[in-house]
Amino acid sequence: MPQRRPTDTRLEELAEKKAQIDAQIDALSARRRLEQKKDEDRIKWLLGNLVFDNLSAEPALQSIVRRDLPDRLTQRDRTRGLWQKLFPDDGKAQP
């Protein structure tokens, strides 16, 4: 059986280390993406609460929500009557 050359062994060792480093990079990247997603979700939640809390006091904000929210409502949202819960005094049904 032919003996392995030191170069071949070293190449295999380096390839294995490279695979380990690539796996670590992938894990750190995934963790960073998860943290960014959590931050984004938190910002959306905070903004949503800010809008919701100020909706009744700000006619301009109400106008924006009335104009843009219907396009974001899913069929499930409509079935649950979320528009009517948000605007209970609205005489007409949400478009």
For 14-35, what is each residue's pLDDT tens digit? Answer: 999 999 999 999 999 999 999 9
What is the pLDDT confidence band of residue 55, given thresholds at 50, 70 and 90? Answer: very high
Identify whether residues 25 and 61 lie together within a single domain: no
Determine the 3-state secondary structure of 21 from DSSP.
helix
Is the predicted pLDDT of residue 2 greater than 80, yes or no?
no
Identify whether residues 11 and 50 lie together within a single domain: yes
Structure tokens at 54: 């100020």
Q: Crossing angle, helix 6-54 and helix 59-68, to 10 degrees?
A: 120
42-48 long-range CB contacts below 8 Å, 24 or more apart? none
How many domains is the chain built from? 2
Q: What is the pLDDT of residue 89?
A: 80
- In contact, 91 and 66? CB cutoff 8 Å: no
Is the predicted pLDDT of residue 70 greater than 70, yes or no?
yes
Distance, C-alpha 20 to centroid of its chain: 29
Averaged confidence pLDDT in the chain: 90
Q: What is the pLDDT of residue 1?
A: 54
Structure tokens at 33: 């993406």
Identify whether residues 41 and 79 lie together within a single domain: no
